[in-house]
Amino acid sequence: MATPPNQLDDLVSQQYRHGFVTDIDADTLPPGLDEDVIRLISRKKQEPSFLLEWRLKAFRHWLTMREPHWAHVRYAPIDYQAISYFSAPKTNKDGPKSLDEVDPKLLATYDKLGVPLHERARLAGVAVDAVFDSVSVATTFKARLAEAGVIFCPFSDAVREHPELVERYLGSVVPTTDNFYAALNSAVFSDGSFVYVPKGVRSPMELSTYFRINEAKTGQFERTLIVADEGSYVSYLEGCSAPQRDENQLHAAVVELVALDDAQIKYSTVQNWYPGDENGVGGIYNFVTKRGECRGRNSRISWTQVETGSAITWKYPSCVLLGDHSVGEFYSVAVANHRQQADTGTKMIHVGRNTRSTIVSKGISAGRAQNTYRGLVKVLPSADGARNYTQCDSLLMGSECGAHTYPYVEVKNPTATLEHEATTSKIGEDQLFYCLQRGLSAEDAINMIVGGFCKSVFKELPMEFAVEAQNLLAVSLEGAVG
Amino acid sequence: MSASPRPSDPLERLRPLLAELPGGGAWRSQREQLWNRLLAAGLPTTRDEPWKYANLRLLARRDLAPAAPRPITPEALAAAPDAAAGGATRLIFVDGRYQAGLAQRLAPPSSLQLSTFAAVVEAGEPDPGTPLAGDPDLVDERLRAWNGAFAVDGPVIRVPARATPPAVHVVHLATGGGAYPRTRIALEPGAQLELVETHLTLGAAEATVVAATEVEVGAGAELTHTVLQVLGERAVLLEDLAVEVGAGGHYRHRLAALGGQFARLDLRVRLAAAGAAVELAGLLFADGQREQHVRTLVTHAAPRTSSDQLYRGVGAGRGRGSYDGKVVVGVGAAGTESRQSSRHLLIGREAAFDSRPQLEINADDVKCSHGATTGTLDPQMLFYLLSRGIDAETARALLTYAFLGEVLRRFSVEPVRRAAEQRVLGRLPSAELLREFVA
């Protein structure tokens, strides 16, 4: 290609921009996991007894489970006893009421990330529930949301202030016995976000959470629960970034969504955790369980994700379409560069009549990365008139990477209509030549072609996220041009 | 998930019979070795990913002991199509054993070398093939191991370099109990062969056939392999077919899976050298309570190889079926082209079809695609026919027939295609009327 070699070297050797560590005095448990640790977590968080019992039940079940190894990823065995299961910034003890009370060091961290919290909040009108390690430290626009009746708070606050809602919905979509990582999360989850949108309310703003993994050797076990009551609407944005580490960090989050009659939930993610260096050293292990239940008639759940980070991704945001005429959507861009391994996709389970689902997945592999789409579309005998459309495309950049597609299509109802298409190809020499001939640099040309490849997913993202995603994609693929 | 059956039990019942099988020395130790590996691995269950959709629990209550030889009259073979046009060679195997008296028109040996495993064993010669393809954990090869341990006979066909003999038609008749035919076909460089296989049952015999076939297509050789499976309602067929294609070689497989209670084909093709090509096409007809399963694994191990797969399934009544296809493009297999198409039509209220078209790609200069659909008949097409005065039942049958036409058209052996067409028509409502339409 026409790019001078020294310029390419610069691009290839570019460091992960978000790699830095903020030095904050944290209240961290020593590594290890047993029932006492769970009791301690529960006590520290002043939880009601039903939650402690729930955690213990999950832990006892977890002990009987084995770590799954069916995904197309390889990593060194994880020692679950070498992980610390609780870490809270001490500054949280007084409970900051506003951004002014938040530790300035913390705010500086967000600044470095390019997320000026208050500015962003004011300009974009976004409420931010920032999770720094495990305890939420700042929540904005609470009043405006409260006016509309929307509850948006850290999970631990919800446990104290709305125990009846938590008890009713927690684990109702992802039960404690669901899978190995979900069971572990249920036992030790630290904090996360809780959203409840009451009947007929349209959330006045987009809700946003920035997660960060900060304390060394602390796994993050987020728990998010979003309930959209009848006729309500909410759009939720999740974005992630982590400081550079040489030690692999485990992240096992659980996200549960519940949509009742005529409700709609839009869940968008931009995931940019530390992917490890070009030799595969370090990086986050991301083992996430995300599932939404369309319980009511005409309900709708939409997952949009842009995955560029993590050393290992194991993530299948899913929809269970219970209510008649309910709709599930999954739009995904997964980028894997260097030695990243991503095994991601979705599940659409059609139970109700005339349920519809759409899956659009774009996978990009570069360097020596492995990128896998794994999806299930299941139509049960009760789902008369169910429809699904699936498209999964892979783009390969480099001869040492891999792109894999494992779709499962299971149909038990003759009135269902399902279509699945997949293609795999590399960026065409002719496309590239055309762009270069028009005076674009190789880097810009690739970004443009990849941008076009991903466009159908990006258009589903809220606007400010779409811009960020586009930039992220460009940064992630730096050094992949060859 | 329902509890897995105890799959090893049928094997326990078979164990004492192993010692009674023919062959000494190397053959005996090979049988024992294969059998011990199978016992250690156990029969596949739905917990094994490649067997997720095909449950073998029905083997638990079956008589799997190799059937005793019994005399057969030519009438028992009436259902086999007469693929003899052009002077084809016809070989008959009853319960996996060669019936010399029923063979027809042996071609001159210069263009075709025919033998049987029984003859090889009796002569004390070494195994002409390899019973296992080399999977160290036996994950995919348990049926091959089972067949390898129990097979006593089966065709051994070799076509010398650049020879183009007339077609070979192998008829497998199952009369009840177990049958373990093992087939080996080798085409030397530049050879060409048209091979037809028919699977039949004697009446409504409760037969269980565990078959294994090895195919070797040499450089520039071309094999067209057409299979008509018209087993009776109580027959089970589990077949494992492993194919290796050399440089510039071409392998075509055509499958009409129409009969049996439960049938499954595991088809593994390795495109071993540059320019090798494979075309697979099959129709799976699952009506009544029938199950038709196909699993394919195509490995592109060399540059400029191509694969094309076309499968069409029909689920009627309470029929069930699955297509599980995987294409693997190895590192360095630049210039690979691969297409997979699987479409399934559900016309029975309780019918079900599963499909899993998978791609595993480890090279970047490739063009790979797959398309899969599952659904019911297009209401607009149905309306068109209804508006022309055709009754609903006939219209649906006609569209179902047309849906399978895409596969049937690829059958190059005329008598087999006609036999498959007639079988499909016979299973659809308004068969007589349909015959008039498609005549």
Asked if A417 and B350 come within 8 Å (Cβ–Cβ), the reply is no
On whether any CB of chain B is under 8 Å from the CB of A392, the answer is: no
For the four alpha carbons of A243, A244, A245 and A250, in that order, the dihedral sign comes to positive
Going from the first residue of chain B to its last (439 residues), give the mean pLDDT of each consecutive group of 10, the final group possibly shorter.
Answer: 51 85 84 90 87 89 88 80 70 90 64 90 86 74 92 94 92 94 97 95 92 97 96 95 97 96 96 97 95 96 96 95 95 92 92 93 89 91 94 92 94 91 89 82
**Residue B93 DSSP SS3:** strand
Query: How many residues are there in chain A?
Result: 482
With b for 16 or more beta-carbon neighbours within 10 A and e for fewer, the A53-76 pattern comes to ebbbbbbebbeeeeeeeebbbeee
Amino acid making up residue B428:
L
Please, how many CA atoms are within 13 Å of residue B41, restricted to the half-sphere of its CB?
22
A253 within 8 A of A282, measured Cβ to Cβ:
no
On whether any CB of chain B is under 8 Å from the CB of A161, the answer is: no
Q: How far is A372 from chain B (nearest CA, A)?
A: 9
On whether any CB of chain B is under 8 Å from the CB of A411, the answer is: yes
Number of domains in chain A: 1
Residues of B in contact with A394 (CB under 8 A): 359, 361
Q: Residue A424: closest CA among chain B residues belongs to which residue?
A: B368
Give me chain A's average pLDDT, please: 80
Nearest to A396 among B331, B353, B364 (CB): B364
- φ, ψ of residue A214 to 5 degrees: the values are -125, -55
On whether any CB of chain B is under 8 Å from the CB of A385, the answer is: no
Task: Supply the pLDDT for residue A208.
Answer: 76
Q: Give the span between the Cα atoms of B11 and B146, in whole angstroms.
A: 9
Residues of B in contact with A409 (CB under 8 A): 354-356, 372, 374
Spans of all domains in chain B:
67-376, 377-439
A133 within 8 A of A106, measured Cβ to Cβ:
no
Asked if B374 and A394 come within 8 Å (Cβ–Cβ), the reply is no
For A150-192, write each residue's pLDDT tens digit: 998 888 889 999 999 999 999 999 999 999 999 999 999 888 8
Determine whether A389 is exposed, middle or buried from the number of CB atoms within 10 Å of its CB (0-12, 13-18, 19+).
middle
Query: Which residue, among A381, A390, A275, A419, has the nearest Cα to A335 in the 3D structure?
Result: A275
Amino acid making up residue A455:
K
DSSP single-letter state for residue B20 = G
Residue A440 lies in a domain: no
Q: Give the span between the Cα atoms of A149 and B105, in whole angstroms.
A: 88
Q: Give the span between the Cα atoms of B86 and B77, in whole angstroms.
A: 20
On whether any CB of chain B is under 8 Å from the CB of A399, the answer is: yes
B220 within 8 A of B245, measured Cβ to Cβ:
no
Residue A212 lies in a domain: yes
Asked if A414 and B364 come within 8 Å (Cβ–Cβ), the reply is no
Could you tell me how many helices (H) and strands (E) chain A has, helices first? 12, 23
Q: Give, for B31, the enclosing helix (H) or strand (E).
A: helix B25-41
Q: Give the span between the Cα atoms of B268 and A461, in whole angstroms.
A: 42
Cβ atoms < 10 Å from Cβ of A34: 11
Asked if B369 and A421 come within 8 Å (Cβ–Cβ), the reply is yes
Asked if B358 and A407 come within 8 Å (Cβ–Cβ), the reply is yes
Task: Supply the pLDDT for residue A119.
Answer: 42
Residues 6+ apart with CB under 8 A from A148: A201, A203, A204
Nearest to B359 among A412, A413, A424 (CB): A424
Task: Supply the pLDDT for residue B148.
Answer: 92
Asked if A407 and B374 come within 8 Å (Cβ–Cβ), the reply is no
Write out A323-359 in H/E/C secondary structure. CCCCEEEEEEEEEECCCCEEEEEEEEEECCCCCEEEE
Task: Supply the pLDDT for residue A468.
Answer: 72
Write out B249-311 in H/E/C secondary structure. CEEEEEEEECCCCEEEEEEEEEECCCCCEEEEEEEEEECCCCEEEEEEEEEECCCCCEEEEEE
Asked if B346 and A420 come within 8 Å (Cβ–Cβ), the reply is no
On whether any CB of chain A is under 8 Å from the CB of B376, the answer is: yes
On whether any CB of chain A is under 8 Å from the CB of B361, the answer is: yes
Q: Give the span between the Cα atoms of B105 and B88, in whole angstroms.
A: 7
On whether any CB of chain B is under 8 Å from the CB of A402, the answer is: yes
Residue with tokens 């390889």: A74
Residues 425-464 of chain A with CB under 8 A from chain B are 425-426
Cβ atoms < 10 Å from Cβ of A7: 12
Most B-contacting residue of A365, A404, A415 (CB-CB within 10 A), to test interface: A404
On whether any CB of chain B is under 8 Å from the CB of A420, the answer is: yes
Residues 6+ apart with CB under 8 A from B329: B300, B336, B338, B359, B360, B361, B362, B363, B366, B368
Residues of A in contact with B349 (CB under 8 A): 414
A303 within 8 A of A334, measured Cβ to Cβ:
no
Give me the domain span that covers residue A417. 23-427
Query: How many residues are there in chain B?
Result: 439
How far is residue B290 CA from its own chain's centroid? 16
Ranges of chain A with pLDDT below 70: 1-27, 87-141, 209-219, 240-248, 464, 475, 478-482
Most B-contacting residue of A179, A379, A411, A446 (CB-CB within 10 A), to test interface: A411
Residues 6+ apart with CB under 8 A from A58: A176, A177, A183, A184, A186, A187
Nearest to B376 among A410, A412, A414 (CB): A414
For the four alpha carbons of B110, B91, B282 and B242, in that order, the dihedral sign comes to negative
Residue with tokens 């089966």: B154
Residues 6+ apart with CB under 8 A from A97: none
Nearest to A408 among B356, B362, B363 (CB): B356
DSSP single-letter state for residue B140 = S
Asked if B360 and A404 come within 8 Å (Cβ–Cβ), the reply is yes
Reported ipTM: 0.84
**Residue A98 DSSP SS3:** coil
Structure token pair of residue A207: 């809700």
